Structures are given as C-alpha cells and as structure tokens.
C-alpha cells in the first residue's frame, strides 16, 4: 500500500482558492508518485513506519509558475528600459534574438536561463524561444533535463520583421510542424506550444496555418495582447476588418479554440474582456515589464471579477527579474496605484491573492498544478527563512513568514525544490 509514497514534514502553506491561505503547521504531506495524497497533522497509523523527510521549521509552499518568459532575451535584462515597446523591440530585442541561429550561442545562454529559473524557484514556465527551430528544441531539452515543467514555443514571424529575424510563411509553418513532431512526445513535463509573436509580425495566412497545427496536434497557444497603445493602433491599421485586437486572434483561430495564454492585456475594451471570458483565455500579468516599458497598469481585478483566469509572468527581458516572488510584490504595488487611479473602486491585491496567482492561478494552465490539494502534482519549494528572523522578535506567524519571504527573501532561502513529486537538484547541464 505504501509503495511509491514520500512523506515530507514542515509548515505547509497553499491557496486552494483565490486569496484563501491554508496553513498546516508542523504537518505531514503524503506524495504518491507525482501527486499529493493528503495532508495530515498527525501521521496515519499505516504510514508511521515510513521514513519522513523532516524540514522542521521550514515553510513548504507550491512551486512558482511563470506564464510568460522570453528565454532568448535573458542577456538583455536591464537594457533599453528607457524605451517603449516597439522601439525597444527594434533596437534591442530583435538583434539579440537573431543571434539564436547560432546553436552554440543559444545553448550557452539557455543553460544559464534554466539554472536561473531553478534557482529562483520557478517550477513551471511558459517560454518563448525564437524563430529558430534547432535553438528552440535545445531550450525545451534543457528544461526537461533540469527536471522543470513547461511549454516552449518556436516563435512565428513572417511580416514586419527585420531581415535577420523573419521567415517565409511556408518555412514558418514547415519548421513549426517539424518542431512539434520532434518534441511533442519526447518529454513528459515539457511540451511545445504554438507561439505567434504577435499580430503585427504574423500574416493572416500564417495565423490560419498555425491555428490548424494547434488543432491537429492538440496544442495550446501563447502570444501578446494589447500591451502598448502604439501596438494596438498598428493592429487596427493592419486589420480594420476586425472589431479589436482580440478579435484578430479569434478570427484566425488563436483565441481559446485551444487553451490560450495572452500576455499583458493592459488596454482591452469591454468587448474584448467578454470574449476573453467566453473563450477561457488566460492572462499572463507582467507588472515589471508593464512598468519598465511604460505600457500601463493592467486591470487584473476586473479580469478576475469577470471570471478570467490570471497567472503571473516575469516577461524577461521587458521585466528584469526572474523571481516570481518579486513579481508578486510588484503586482501588489501596481494594484495600489490602480486602486488610486480608479478612485479606489478597483480593490488592490493582498499577498494571499497574488500568491494564488503565482501558484494555482497560473498552475492550472498546466493541469492540476500549483496547490497541495489531493490529486495535485507535487510542485513545491522548501523555504528556510531563518536568515530573515529579527533576533528580538519571535512573534511571526506562518502567514507573516510567507509575506516576509516574498518581500525580502531570495533564492538563498529556497533549500529544496520538487516538480511532479521528484526532488530537483541544481541542473548539471
């Protein structure tokens, strides 16, 4: 009966519902294979003979989920952040991504990317690669070898792109299908995802073609939506036949026909919000990037109130932080500015609310991920926050300790990581 069971002990914290922390102090979590079997304050008799991994006073929390990460932009963190989106793409992003035709360069950077994700506690990630099939397959392979979970997309771009970073429509479709075939069954926890960069760089023919591939291979979709006012105006020029930006994706089969993540969603109108809710589109909220590129403050509370699923994204390199804990704090901070800007009508976020977005909120895109409820895959971080203690103060509750780790902790406090029930050591890539 106890075959394949792991037992871990500590202070267990998670959010089974939005904003609702569940705390089990000094308790046991049973993992059977990949999934949580149950949480117990006292170990049931049939398990008392089994070994327990006792993390003592540490916090045990779900692993962090990053719903929007541009792996090839990693070397550009901190560059060009005095620009808005479109000039930043032209001056910094596109020239960097063009380098990924060189597989040796791609492999060197991607090894560092994967190690950083591991280090900062990201256990599942939705990644953009580049237009380059081989380099993108290498990123997928490295994530899998590290034991992390995720989706990795070969980017599609066949118009309005520099000569160094553009495909023909036919080549883009052929390379995407070859990439899918080579990777779809290769690894259990890392899979391909259909990844049009955004409407301005994808022709109608390309969008139609990749939507067919998403259906044919039953794959999810990721892209960008309504990040910047100039971008939105450009989409309107390119597609006057569509009512709005979301309507372009929807028309071409890339908006919820398969599970879909749209990053940013800062300036969506009410019709788009209704379509997002109806199409069950996920929002990847990327507050660092939205600040750095002066894009705006997304109305995340409004999305949640409309039943739209939301997770958090680092959006490297528009965002300069890999840490999803830091993204959580920024999500709280910008929500306070939104609260003030809406005459205090759009309520700001609490730590339990953004903790949910960083775990179960984004995790649900990957299935039963991001919680410690029975049947959920066991993705976890073990947090030793003893270095954050103030010697004269011993009054911190578990909830206080979680908040302090999120605000003032860092990767040094993460002493163990688990993905789908397996302990994941530092990648040796």
First to last CA, the chain: 36
Numbered ranges of CATH 3.20.20.140 in the chain: 64-366
- Cα–Cα distance between 192 and 220 in angstroms, integer? 8
CATH number of the 64-366 domain? 3.20.20.140
- Cα–Cα distance between 228 and 89 in angstroms, integer? 12
- Cα–Cα distance between 221 and 207 in angstroms, integer? 11
- Cα–Cα distance between 159 and 141 in angstroms, integer? 29
Domain 5-63+371-423 has CATH 3.20.20.70: no
Gyration radius of the chain's alpha carbons: 21
Query: What pLDDT score was predicted for residue 1?
Result: 44
Nearest to 238 by CA among 251, 223, 257, 254: 251
Q: How far is CA 40 from CA 48, 209, 337, 355, 375, in A?
A: 12, 50, 41, 22, 15
Query: What pLDDT score was predicted for residue 395?
Result: 83
Name residues whose C-beta falls within 8 Å of residue 20's C-beta, 6 or more positions apart in sequence: 352, 356
Tell me the mean pLDDT per 10 residues along the chain, length 429: 84 98 98 97 95 98 98 98 96 98 98 98 98 98 98 98 98 98 98 98 98 98 97 98 98 98 98 98 98 97 98 98 98 97 96 98 98 98 96 87 98 98 96
Sheet holding 5-17: strands in order across?
Answer: 35-40, 20-32, 5-17, 53-62, 380-383, 414-419, 422-423
- Cα–Cα distance between 296 and 291 in angstroms, integer? 7
Numbered ranges of CATH 2.30.40.10 in the chain: 5-63+371-423
């Amino acid at each position: 009966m106890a075959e394949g069971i792991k037992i871990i002990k500590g202070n267990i914290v998670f959010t089974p519902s939005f904003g609702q922390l569940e705390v089990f102090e000094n308790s046991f979590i049973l993992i059977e294979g990949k999934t949580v079997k149950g949480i117990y304050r006292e170990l049931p008799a049939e398990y008392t003979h089994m070994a327990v991994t006792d993390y003592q006073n540490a916090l045990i929390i779900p692993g962090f989920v990053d719903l929007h990460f541009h792996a090839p932009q990693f070397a550009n963190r901190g560059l060009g952040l005095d620009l808005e989106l479109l000039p930043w793409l032209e001056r910094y992003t596109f020239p960097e991504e063009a380098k990924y035709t060189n597989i040796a360069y791609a492999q060197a950077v991607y090894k560092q990317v994967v190690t950083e994700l591991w280090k900062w506690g990201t256990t599942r990630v939705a990644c953009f690669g580049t237009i380059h099939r081989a380099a993108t397959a290498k990123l997928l392979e490295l994530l899998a070898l590290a034991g992390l979970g995720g989706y990795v997309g070969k980017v599609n771009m066949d118009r309005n792109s520099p000569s160094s970073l553009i495909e023909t429509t036919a080549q883009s479709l052929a390379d995407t299908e070859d990439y899918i075939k080579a990777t779809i069954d290769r690894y259990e926890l890392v899979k391909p995802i259909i990844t049009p960069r955004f409407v301005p760089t994808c022709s109608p023919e390309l969008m139609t073609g990749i939507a067919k591939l998403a259906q044919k291979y039953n794959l999810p979709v990721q892209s960008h939506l309504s990040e910047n006012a100039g971008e939105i105006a450009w989409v309107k020029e390119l597609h006057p036949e569509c009512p709005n930006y979301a309507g372009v994706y929807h028309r071409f089969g890339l908006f919820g026909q398969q599970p879909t993540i749209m990053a940013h969603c800062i300036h969506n109108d009410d019709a788009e919000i209704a379509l997002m809710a109806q199409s069950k589109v996920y929002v990847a909220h990327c507050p660092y990037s939205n600040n750095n590129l002066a894009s705006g403050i997304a109305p995340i509370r409004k999305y949640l109130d409309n039943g739209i699923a939301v997770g958090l994204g680092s959006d490297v390199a528009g965002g300069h932080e890999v840490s999803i804990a830091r993204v959580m704090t920024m999500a709280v901070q910008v929500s306070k500015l939104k609260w003030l800007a809406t005459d205090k009508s759009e309520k700001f976020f609490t730590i339990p609310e953004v903790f949910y977005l960083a775990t179960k909120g984004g995790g649900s895109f990957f299935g039963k991920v991001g919680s410690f409820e029975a049947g959920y895959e066991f993705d976890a971080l073990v947090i030793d926050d003893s270095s954050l203690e103030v010697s004269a103060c011993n009054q911190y509750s578990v909830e206080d300790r979680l908040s302090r780790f999120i605000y003032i902790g860092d990767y040094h406090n993460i002493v163990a990581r688990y993905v789908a029930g397996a302990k994941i050591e530092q990648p040796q890539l």
